[in-house]
A and B are shown apart, each in its own frame.
Chain A
Amino acid sequence: MVEASLAITITLNGEPYALDGDASVAALVEKLKMRPTRIAVEVNREVIPKAKYAETILHPGDSVEIINFVGGG
């Protein structure tokens, strides 16, 4: 079986973002060089637990939010 290598476009933090190859949340987080312990990921308004990053596959048009903590009061 051939791995799907077609690029897909998702919306990442409000902007279009192209993904190719592995479209899992785990791959996206790794590609962005983010430490999973410091972030939270939401796909189509649903929070994805860290344990499910590998099995959660993104599809064209998915809306992904990745957040972290910043200074605030």
Chain B
Amino acid sequence: MRSAPPAQSKVNMQDTQLQLGGRAFSSRLIVGTGKYKDFAETRAALDASGAEIVTVAVRRVNITDRTKENLLDFLDPKRHVVLPNTAGCFTAEEAIRTCRLAREAGGGDMVKLEVIGDPKTLFPDVAATIEGAKVLVKEGFKVLPYITDDPVACLRLAEIGCIAVMPLAAPIGSGLGIRNPHNIAIIVEQAKVPVIVDAGVGTASDAAEAMELGCDGVLMNTAIAGAKDPIAMARAMRLGIEAGRLAFLAGRIERRLYANASSPMTGLIG
């Protein structure tokens, strides 16, 4: 007969809250809205992902065809927070201009700052990103910069007032996973702001790995939208994020070279 109370975990199993820009989000997964077959699929994937923060791009309206559906009609204004990006900008000036327009279009104060330095790799222009972030922070934006997995660049961006840093795992859309987990670990260790891995994850284990490294969240688009079944992958990513977060909080075992038996070595039958 049992007399001891059941053992309990000290880890908060419901810990999925991401603190960002003075708000608490119940999902640590941030998803993009590009590359889906249609808006219905976008919405179904968003629902399966559980994401609350969704990125959008800023583009010219279609003047000639006004019948086109609007992405915002497929978002839930009560649940989804729109995070406009500056994708396609190659200079700080263009990115700043895009953010100002995004805010006027109802995008709020949070912006994903993305200043691309090279069209082939889509790696960020670090100097221009820092330059743009300085101006945007002064203008009251809550800046989330997409940046190289460079611990020093991340430090500088946090120092100038960015509310998070978003180092890439690998090139945008590449699905290569976390190419430099050691740099991500250093960025996490030094960080005074949330660290969100942005770009490059390919599957759920990549998202879990980012969380196991101690990141606060993961932002992805292609890994979900480009999967054979985006809706199923959206749920896989949600579970990967939760599993990785919990594993981080639980504290993994040390890696060791040799075996360490799980069964007692005493009391063996003779």
Over the window 16-60 of chain A, the binary record of Cβ atoms lying under 8 Å from chain B Cβ atoms (1 yes, 0 no) is 010000000000000011100111111001011110000000000
Supposing A12-B63, A14-B60, A71-B56 touch, asked if A50 and B104 sit within 8 A by C-beta, the answer is: yes
Asked whether A65 lies within 8 Å of B60 as measured between CB atoms, the reply is yes
- Which residues from chain A contact B34 at a C-beta distance below 8 Å? 70-73
Q: A13-B63, A33-B66, A47-B101 are in contact. Are A70 and B106 (CB under 8 A)?
A: no
Question: CB < 8 Å: which of A32, A37, A38, A69 contacts B63?
Answer: A32
Q: Which residues of A contact B219 (CB under 8 A)?
A: 73
Q: Interface size on B (CB < 8 Å)?
A: 38
Indicate whether A34 sits within 8 Å of B56 (C-beta atoms), given known contacts A45-B97, A71-B33, A71-B34.
no
In the bound complex, do residue B60 and residue A71 qualify as a contact, i.e. CB atoms below 8 Å apart? no
Which 4 residue pairs of A and B lie closest in terms of their CB atoms, listed nearest first? A72-B57, A73-B32, A73-B221, A40-B104
Given contact pairs A40-B101, A72-B33, A73-B172, a sample of 4 additional A-B residue pairs in the complex whose CB atoms are under 8 Å apart: A50-B104, A69-B102, A70-B57, A71-B33
Residues of B within 8 A of A (CB): 32-36, 39, 42, 55-61, 63, 66, 70-72, 82, 84-85, 87, 97, 100-107, 172, 199, 219-222
